Structure 1
Amino acid sequence: MVLSLVKEHDSSNFLKAARLWGIENPETTICNPRALLGRKWSDESVQILIKDLPYKVISDHQDRPVFNINVGDNEKTYTVEYVTSLLVKELKHMAEVAMGGNETVTEAVIAIPSNYNDQQRQAVKDAGYLAGIDDLLISLEPGAAAMGYGAHEVDEERNIIIFDIGNTLDVSVLNAENGVFETLASSHYDIGGEHFNQRIIDYITRQWRKMTSIDLTTSPSDMRKLNLEVERAKISLSSNRTAIVDLGSVNSTLTATLTRAKFEELVKDLFVEAVEVIQPNLNKAELNFTDIDDIIITGGSGNIPKIREMVQEAFSGKMPSYGLRSKAAVIGAARRGAISYSDEGLLCGLSFPDLSPLDFGIETADGVTANVAPQKPIPFLASWNFTTAVDRQSSMLIRVLEGQRVLAANNLVIGEFELPLTPAPAGVPRVEIAFRIGPDQDLEVTATDLETKNTKSIFVDPSTTMWTDYGAPEGTKFEGAFLGNWPDTYIDPDPELRARVNARVDLESYLAALKERLTSSEEWGTEDIVRYNKLGHPFQLSKVLQGIDMAQEDIAKHRDTWEPDTFQKLKEDFSILAELFVGKLEYEVIYRVGGKVGVQHDEL
């Protein structure tokens, strides 16, 4: 195993001495570069990550984070991919030495977190290429862990849950039978080792400040050593009841004793949060706790006794597997490589389809994400039908999103294009939008006008992570409405918001359909309405339409504040009103006045 540390000194990069170098020279030692792979510098999460780093991370001209390091009197800039490639190159060298030093490694399998999007996956491939890997296969860490534990060797059908907790948490539910794996659910959470470490660091720095009035956080070198000492102590507590945190020999002489009980107290809420996410993943897989045959705990933080105990309790005492621990994904990735690269067909007959990176969808007119293609095994094809939200639209702008958030603004925009339309009233055009993901994770999005059969497409090339722009104006959004029910079978990070959106969209669709029926119904003509109004009933069409208009104004005003029950109650009220009005109209006009079935009525 290799630490994610790279040092820069006198134009030479070294890995072996990076840990010790980082204590005295934290401003030139880069830690965990993969956390920034494929990310945007302006992202809020990136700003949080880089806020307290002892070295500078700046933005390049494409809003990508780059490391800005001072080496002597010179200032050097390195991309995240380049720094990551140094780690890959070291692993490549270690493998070549292990094989006798006579062979060059040009093929590799890299296991990545399941939440990596297309840009992050491509950044991993770029790092591999810079390290001299010509043929790189990407495998997802949870799936690789399942193979590492030998789940592919079992003939009978089994449901497996992977609880992969390192610096972050991946929870995956798999179905395995005769060497064929199917991913039923997979989600990523920002809970893990770094968060546990930070709780310990905060505790120690507070205690030290109380005892000595010295603020350790003002010294980058002290904080770097404290980080390393806390990590060492945390690992020690997995097998010991106490651990010593020693910050001597730098600028302070701090020595603190940390007990396992105190550590568990500091991170109790994080442990609870980590275990609680099992339930929504089982819901997504449509399984119960009792349906799980194998529980696999992996990742570095999977060694923590309390985590293993809490996961076991969640499954009513069922014993998890954790013998291989953090190496499971490594072993599984190697087995995955044997499937793909072996000329002799080693492990032939195995099938492990990867999962799409995240959910894919479309931004609707009100800034909500319509989730067209939830995360699932690839390749696949998924489609939904949409219509227009504005009268006489001459085109539909389609904004393609990646992510699982309700609001489009919280997801990643991966493409935009326009589909020309024949101008018509809102709600009349029918547009099918289809997402097709191939075996190489290439994404094609196609929009088809179902009336004219006119079609436009966008292609996201995984080798460039760029998309073809068909002239969509910058800053504009999709002017369309989803035709159908919002999906609720996948894990939702915004359940309350989605419930509100579902209720609002349902009400808006109902009112639009009711208004359309009352103003252009084929059940009665204009003369019928005129005759009905002359009868002087309180339920006049103009008043009903005025009520719909007022309701639509109220919805627009309170779209983000009303509770779901408020939207549902308003729909119920209008349903009763519509039933009374239409019933009275049919009785007075069609039966009594219009005489359309009057002969039959008179004979009775």
Structure 2
Amino acid sequence: MIIGIDLGTTNSLVSVWEGETAQLVPNALGRMLTPSVVGLDDQGQMVVGDIARERLQTHPHLTTALFKRHMGSAQATQLGPHRFRPEELSALVLRSLKEDVERAYGKAVTEAVISVPAYFSDAQRKATRIAGELAGLKVEKLINEPTAAALAYGVHQKGDTSFLVFDLGGGTFDVSVLELFDGVMEVRASAGDNFLGGEDFDDAIVAHVVGALLAQGMPDAERPAIRHRLRREAQRVRHALGQQSETVFQLSEDGREWSVPLTQEKLLEICEPLLERLRAPIERALRDARIKVADLDEVLLVGGTTRMPLVRKLVASLFGRFPSMHLNPDEVIAQGAAIQAALKARDATLEEVVLTDVCPYSLGVEVSNSVAGQLQDGHYLPIIERNCVVPVSRVKSVQTLRDGQRQVSVRIFQGESRLVANNIFLGELEVDVPPRPAGEVSLDIRFTYDINGLLEAQVDTPMTGQSRTLVIENNPGVMTPQEIAERFAALQALKIHPRDQQVNSALMARLERLYQECLGDVREHVGALAGHFAGVLERQDESEIRDAHQDISARLEAIESGY
């Protein structure tokens, strides 16, 4: 069985193709969104999703989130006795989603299509594949998030159309320009920012509020537990200001209540620098696609952060029209990934759909240029330019620099900067050349980039007929095959919190969090509810547990709603 996964910075989803539609699969709590949060419970078992998110505040040293932003790096996170790389934390989320599908359908899941930000680098894409492998999945394809959304939008669309996908999620921003014609979905251009999303809007709110709270005399806000509470309240405020013109940021600490009033106008002022950063990728994608705003038939909003009114207003002003909102922005990427999975499985209902994509980054080599009569190293020669349709193969020629030169170092980079120092180093080839006067020996450098993001560099020396080839498989910070095998075995040996206990464990974690947040009579009431529910769980009466869970959940909803 092959599934489609939206592996998000804040939340993740899984979907399968059934009949003629993509069906989202709920997790153990019956929810479609699984928070991309991992932690250890009090028994040392791994928890993923809602339980872990509730424990971010109460057990910050045993819980972690936002690790997608570090994919492709060697950054490690310590959780109790365990040390995890970003790929391993992502693998635990993927494994949880995989198990949700297996329990729902009673079938083994072995393959997946996983979505990634269109602007993910080569190393980040490899890290995502490794995460799938560590989760026990064969990753059939990585699909760019805007492309997945466009696929979900266009699979039942009739007629030719041009549209732009504006994808602002929890941690990344992507924009893609696409065309649909004769059953072909063609990506014309992609651009984006890997460090711009809803989490940054929350950070901006927190930074503003902390300044105001410190001015009121609040103690240090850098303790992990307080930071998580600040971020959680920032998320609540951001969502509240999507529905009302003003609200109050509230925090209980050291026996006192602290508050800062916020309005939609103030939120716009706080977030203005972030909104401004959204413009450049849009302009770049339109320019690369050689299409005018007036020629777009539709603008699609994707990602939970597009629910913010100020984001929608910005999009409307940029494009001179209201964006399309008939698809659920949280779910559409997972649905598109499931459609791509069905295409890979050759589902008969999707035979006529053809999808093309582009290489999101320029790929090239380091060269020396003559500057004011002097040779200067460190310049960038793009061979495959960004937004070429993949698969693609391009060749460029270079010449030797010095008399009697016997070897040329071909250093391969990814990026858009004029100087290689500002681009990402991918690999290096050493090529022997015959000693001749400078410029007499030429080298043909051919790059071939396939649909899975695999780059092959081939260097031919016409004078000698020799050829050297390098396939870029490993990047600095990416795990080696041996490391993958070792970590796969280690992850398999981890104790995972029992699925059948997740509903009740999530409620207990929620009670613990609220007990920390509240004061006075409300805090006492929450403590009493926690003690009562713990007693009910001890008695192991399923009917009593179910009734108590329903009653306490309703009471907590009222408390969190402020009633």
TM-score, structure 1 normalization: 0.68
Specify whether residues 276 and 134 from structure 1 end up closer, same or farther in structure 2 by C-alpha distance, changes over 3 A only.
Answer: closer
* Separation of aligned partners in 1, 2:367 and 2:393: 20
1:207-286 map, 5 Å: 207-217=212-222, 219-248=223-252, 253-286=257-290
Structure 1 position 109 matched with structure 2 position 121? no
Q: Could you tell me which of 379, 382, 389 is aligned with 1:371?
A: 382
Q: Is the CA contact (8 Å cut-off) linking 2:213 and 2:259 kept in structure 1? A: no
**What residue is the counterpart of 1:83 in the other structure?**
89
C-alpha distance in structure 2 between counterparts of 1:129 and 1:326, whole Å: 25
Taking the aligned partners of 1:68 and 1:34, their CA distance within structure 2 comes to 16
Deviation (angstroms), 1:348: 0.9
- Displacement after TM superposition at 1:235 (Å): 1.9
For residue 314 of structure 1, give the secondary structure of its aligned residue in structure 2.
helix
Residue 134 of structure 2 aligns to which amino acid in structure 1? L
For residues 118 and 318 of structure 1, the distance between their equivalents in structure 2, rounded to whole angstroms, comes to 35
Specify the alignment match of 1:148 in structure 2. Answer: 152
1:411–1:463 CA distance, 2 compared to 1 (3 A)? closer
CA shift digits 1:39-74 (9 cap, x unpaired): 2xxxxxxxxxxxxxxxxxxxxxxxx111123x3xxx
Aligned length: 434
Q: 2:40 aligns with which of 8, 30, 39?
A: 8
* 8 Å contact kept, 1:398–1:418: yes
Alpha-carbon distance, 1:29 to partner: 0.9
Partner residue, 2:394: 382
1:364 CA displacement: 0.9
Q: Taking CA–CA contacts closer than 8 Å with sequence separation of 6 or more, which of the two structures ends up with the larger relative contact order?
A: 2
Structure 1 Cα separation of the partners of residues 276 and 326 of structure 2: 19
Per-residue deviation, 1:332: 1.0
Code of the residue aligned with 1:368 in structure 2: it is H
Residue 172 (1) aligns with residue 206 (2): no
Partner Cα separation in structure 2 for residue 424 and residue 157 of structure 1: 56
Q: SS where residue 464 of structure 2 aligns?
A: coil
Corresponding residue of 1:67: 77
- CA shift in 2, pair 1:147/1:351, >3 Å: same
Tell me the equivalent position of 2:130: 126
SS at match of 1:197: helix
Q: CA deviation at 1:437?
A: 2.0
CA positional deviation for 1:462: 7.2
Once residues 155 and 393 of structure 1 are traced to their aligned partners in structure 2, the CA distance between those partners, rounded to angstroms, is: 60
After TM superposition, which residue ranges in structure 1, 4 or more long, deviate above 6 angstroms?
A: 462-467
Is residue 206 of structure 2 the alignment partner of residue 195 of structure 1?
Answer: no
The 1-side partners of 2:357 and 2:255 are apart by 49
SS in 2 for 1:325: coil
Cα distance, 1:389 vs structure 2? 2.2
- Pick the aligned partner of 1:92 from 90, 93, 98: 98
Equivalent position SS for 1:301: helix
Please tell me the root mean square deviation across aligned C-alpha atoms, in Å. Answer: 2.3
1:362-441 equivalence runs, <5 A: 362-365=365-368, 366-375=377-386, 376-441=388-453
Structure 1: gaps of 5 or more residues: 40-63, 468-604
Distance 1:463 1:155, change over 3 A: farther
- 1:349 equivalenced with 2:352 (yes/no): yes
CA deviation after TM superposition for structure 1 residue 236, in Å: 2.4
Going from structure 1 to structure 2, the CA distance change for 1:250 and 1:334 (only over 3 Å counts) comes to farther
Whether 1:20 aligns to 2:78 is no
Moved more, 177-186 or 348-357: 348-357
Among residues 67, 71, 81, which one is paired with 1:37 in the alignment? 71
Contact residue 155 and residue 178 of structure 1 kept, 8 A:
no
CA contact (8 A) 2:249 2:260 kept: yes
1 or 2, which has the higher strand percentage?
2
1:516-542 Cα offsets, whole Å, 9 max, x none, are: xxxxxxxxxxxxxxxxxxxxxxxxxxx
Name the CA distance, whole Å, in 2 between partners of 1:235 and 1:271.
17
Distance 1:288 1:354, change over 3 A: closer
Relative to 1, partners in 2 of residues 1:341 and 1:462: Cα closer, same or farther, differing over 3 Å? Answer: farther
1:596 aligns with none
Task: Report the CA distance between 1:213 and its aligned residue.
Answer: 4.6
Instruction: Give CA-to-partner distance per residue, 1:214-269, whole Å, 9 cap, x none.
Output: 2323x221111111111122122222223343322677532333222211111123
SS, match of residue 111 in structure 1: strand
| 1:317, distance to aligned residue in structure 2 (A) | 2.8
Amino acid at match of 1:353: T
**Aligned 8 A contact 2:363 2:415 in 1:** yes
Verify the 8 A CA contact 1:152 1:178 in the aligned structure 2.
no
- Check the 8 A contact 1:112/1:141 in 2, yes or no: yes
1:92-132 Cα shifts (integer Å, max 9, x gaps): 22223333xx2222222211111222322222122222222
CA–CA separation in structure 2 for the residues paired with 1:173 and 1:76: 43
The 3 A distance-change label for structure 1 pair 428 and 157 is: farther
Whole-angstrom distance in 2 between the partners of 1:245 and 1:341: 49
Alpha-carbon distance in 2 for matches of 1:168, 1:463: 22
Distance 1:453 1:107, change over 3 A: same
Distance 1:14 1:199, change over 3 A: same
CA spacing shift, 1:281–1:438, aligned 2, 3 Å: closer
> Secondary structure of the residue that 2:35 maps to in structure 1?
coil
**Residue 368 of structure 1: SS of its match in structure 2?**
strand
Give, in angstroms, the shift of residue 208 of structure 1.
0.7
Q: Distance in 1 between matches of 2:359 and 2:302?
A: 22
| Distance in 2 of aligned mates of 1:17 and 1:456 | 52
Equivalent runs, 1:49-68 vs 2, <5 Å: 64-68=74-78
Structure 2: which amino acid aligns with 1:372? I
Normalization by structure 2: what TM-score? 0.73
Q: 1:383 to 1:409 in 2, by over 3 A?
A: same
SS at match of 1:159: strand
Name the structure 1 match of 2:515.
Answer: none
| Per-residue deviation, 1:434 | 0.4
Is the CA contact (8 Å cut-off) linking 1:159 and 1:174 kept in structure 2?
yes
Q: Quote the Cα distance in structure 2 between the aligned partners of 1:91 and 1:337.
A: 15
**Does 127-136 or 430-439 show the bigger shift?**
127-136
Helix, strand or coil for the counterpart of 2:252?
coil
* Residue 310 (structure 2) pairs with residue 306 (structure 1): yes
AA at the equivalent of 2:359: S
